[in-house]
Structure 1
Amino acid sequence: MASSYFKKKLSGNNFLLFVTIFMFLVMYILGIIFYHEQGFGTMQTFFNMLIDNAGLIIAASGMTLVLITGGIDISIGSVVGLICMMLANFMQNKGMSASLSIIWVLLFGIGFGFIQGWLIAYLKLQPFIVTLAGMFFCRGLTAMISVEQIAITTNKAFLALAHKNISLFFGATVNKRGIKLYPFIHPSVVIALVALLAVWYLCKYTKFGRSLFAVGGNEQSALLMGINVRKIKLLAYMLNGFLASLAGVVFCLNTTSGFVEQARGFEMEAIASAVIGGTLLTGGVGTVIGTFFGVLIKASIETYIRCNGTLSSWWNKIVLSALLCFFIVLQSVFATLKERRK
């Protein structure tokens, strides 16, 4: 009975998710084995992976929603960069409060997502072309605000939030002086995990989530089921725009500045995280839990490089691209086997 249960689970769409989780566990265990002296196995190292990639967790969650519908969004990196610049300009140059600045940029993200979603869903333009134009627009608008870096140095509320440590009372380590040190996270991690869980619940337990999968699986079948395909796509891109702007806020909490080249290539990391996490590029299959582990795999590679000390940071891009190709091939094989079973 147990073997048939696991066989059923592995033969379904969860197979790619199991592969991703298994790969992360193997990578993490190997990191502990080879770099335990550098502190790879400590709880703080794991939490640092979450702190450094909090913005990516949120952005990749939004990307997962869009990919499930069969679409794509390559403007996310530019949106994140623009949000950071807007926040820095509002708070540093305009003297605006942190809360009001955050509200404005979140509204911008929703509006930007609405425009892109409307063009894709109602005018039936190709998502790649629409979001490519969005990428150039946001990057250009960032440069129009300022070609120089704007550092946030005067807004005490935002800086306090950015530098706040939330201590966790487990996984403590003892330093050379015999002082017990507890691991900590930043508010950005809390925001990222709450957003991740909210998207997971939305996809798994709501009518909107079921409609996303139906639209991505087969638009014609979704129409016959009475689903408003255009509305679902529009809402998916609006939610993605909101999450991209929220990712920009979290990204800015980590950098406390804005500049033109910020978050360049961020969209590719989001796509890679989602695909490595088991989201099909053809739509209809995906989960943000897998995307989360895809982000952790990327973070593990970065931590390997940091602990090694001799490797170029470009190895992160090389290994991530190799993993992306591997999972795309795996998806193709998986889809072929599924068709043969039919």
Structure 2
Amino acid sequence: MTATAVRDETTKESRTMKVESFLGRHAALMPTFAALAILLLLFAGAEAFLRGDFITPRNISALLLDNAYLLVLAVGMTFVILTGGIDLSVGSVMAFTGILGAKLLADGLPVVIAVPAIILGGALIGLVIGVLVQYFNVQPFIASLAGLFLARGLAFVVSLSSIKVEEPAILWLQSTRITVGSWYITPTGIIALLAVAVAAFVLHLTRFGRTVYAIGGSESSARLMGLNVARTKVAVYVISGLCAGLAGLILTAYSGAGYPRNGIGTELDAIAAVVIGGTLLTGGRGYVVGSMVGVFVYGTIKTIISFMGAEQSWMQIIVGALLLLFIVVQRAIVARSEGRR
């Protein structure tokens, strides 16, 4: 073997070792990268199939506009799932806070009181769930299921029918377009992006965020390290409820009305988006930015199927199959990355 061949072989081995080392150190990022790659592939495939009519400023801007409420729900759900919990109540809480806000405004209550009231209402339901989980040892699935029925029942108590919102300040959140060329964003989209930014800061640059990850990794170890596990576990459900209340406001502004049947099944959409974005259901690993990517993947899938003119039943089947595929691929990437360590 010549000296040149030896050098080439050594260089190749060195590059392989560097790649393996990178994957080993950043295994937690791999599912998020996979979700981002899937999103780009969806864009490319839709653009090719629709012959250049998909990737337009209008369609991409509408992706955030149409999924702003889901993005806020996914932010709150990320906190809960990172601790190894689950929150099935967020769709019903969103419906309750939305119809409550519409009712309060219809009765003449000022916006400065109605908006904090509905957000606080969502946080209170989250507090009830968190207390049940932490202090009564109720499984998160059961506790949040109880929260689901509670919130949905309260929504029907407020009103059995839709209540139109005529408050200009609420409608402004959706009707206003901040444009840059052909691109636009609404205040609801800005609120959703701010929620992501604040959540990312809290999770990665505060003691509370580090405690959330520690609990998901090993709750017993987190206790031994002296971390305040009880307060943190209750707090993540409060955050999830608060985000659901904020999503109720966004959805009410988006639709122009509150409706007690809103959000049926939306909690599953939020969970799916979070998992697609790389957050493991077992907790301890994931990123809120990944959840945002997951929401965009989920929204893009629905948009593509809508462009194709598929019936609603087929839309659900296709979305379910694609979500299952994405989750399996991401889990395989995690397993392979951990195997390289």
TM-score of the superposed pair, with normalisation by structure 1: 0.90
Shift of 1:3: 5.4
2:143: which partner in 1? 130
**Residue among 45, 48, 72 paired with 2:86:** 72
Partner of 1:18: 33
What is the match of residue 164 of structure 1?
176
Are 1:319 and 2:318 counterparts? yes
Q: What displacement does 1:141 show?
A: 1.0
2:42 to 12, 27, 34: 27
Code of the aligned partner of 1:326: L
- The Cα offsets for residues 184-241 of structure 1, whole Å up to 9 and x where unpaired, read as 2211000000001110111111111111111001111111111121111011111111
Deviations 1:54-108 (A, max 9, x none): 000010011011000000000000011111101111112x111223211101111
Structure 1 distance, partners of 2:75, 2:315, is 21
1:208 pairs with 2:208: yes
Task: Measure how far apart 1:244 and its partner are.
Answer: 1.2
Q: Quick one: distance in 1 between partners of 2:71 and 2:298?
A: 11
The 3-state SS of whatever aligns with 1:14 is: helix
Q: Against the structure 1 CA distance between its residues 5 and 288, is the aligned structure 2 distance closer, same or farther, given a 3 Å change threshold?
A: farther
Shift of 1:17: 1.1
Distance 1:292 1:125, change over 3 A: same
1: distance between equivalents of 2:278 and 2:157? 38
- Which runs of structure 2 are paired with 1:46-195 in the superposition (5 Å)? 46-92=60-106, 94-153=107-166, 155-169=167-181, 182-195=182-195
Contact (CA 8 Å) 1:276, 1:323: kept in 2 or not? no
Once the two structures are overlaid, the 10-residue window that deviates more, 39-48 or 264-273, is 39-48
Query: Is the Cα contact below 8 Å between 2:98 and 2:118 reproduced in 1?
Result: no
Distance 1:281 1:323 in 2: 18
User: Are the structure 2 counterparts of residues 151 and 4 from structure 1 closer, same or farther at C-alpha, using a change threshold of 3 Å?
Assistant: farther
Amino acid at match of 2:179: S
Alignment check: 8 A CA contact 1:84 1:249 kept: yes
Listed as ranges, the gaps of 5+ residues in structure 1 are 170-181
Aligned counterparts of 1:295 and 1:313: Cα–Cα separation in 2: 19
> Displacement, 1:337?
5.3
Structure-2 change in CA distance of 1:19 and 1:165 (3 Å): same
Distance 1:268 1:210 in 2: 26
Tell me the number of residue pairs that the alignment of Structure 1 and Structure 2 aligns.
326
Equivalent position amino acid for 2:185 in 1: I
C-alpha change, 1:46 and 1:340, in structure 2 (3 Å) is closer
Tell me the residue number matched to 1:45: 59
SS of residue in 2 equivalent to 1:184: strand
Q: CA–CA distance in 2 between the matches of 1:75 and 1:200?
A: 23
Q: Which runs of 5+ in 2 are unaligned?
A: 1-13
Q: Are residue 263 (structure 1) and residue 263 (structure 2) matched?
A: yes
Of 273-282 and 295-304, the range deviating more from structure 2: 295-304
Higher helix share: 2
| Change in CA separation of 1:341 and 1:42 when aligned onto 2, cut-off 3 Å | closer
Decide whether aligned partners of structure 1 residues 122 and 5 sit closer, same or farther in structure 2, where only a CA change above 3 A counts.
Answer: farther
Within 5 A, what are the aligned runs for 1:331-342?
333=332
Q: Per the alignment, do residues 238 and 88 of structure 1 end up closer, same or farther by CA in structure 2, a change over 3 Å counting? A: same
**Structure 2 CA distance for aligned equivalents of residues 2 and 164 of structure 1:** 51
For the aligned residue pairs, the C-alpha RMSD in angstroms reads 1.9
Tell me the residue number matched to 2:292: 292
Partner Cα distance (2:254, 2:51) in 1? 26
User: How far 1:325 moved relative to its partner?
Assistant: 2.3
Deviation at 1:331, TM superposition (A): 5.5
TM-score by length of 2: 0.90
Q: Aligned residue for 2:4?
A: none
User: Aligned in 2, Cα 1:218/1:335: closer, same or farther, shift over 3 Å?
Assistant: farther
Q: Deviations over 1:26-52 (max 9, x none)?
A: 001111112245x31111110101000
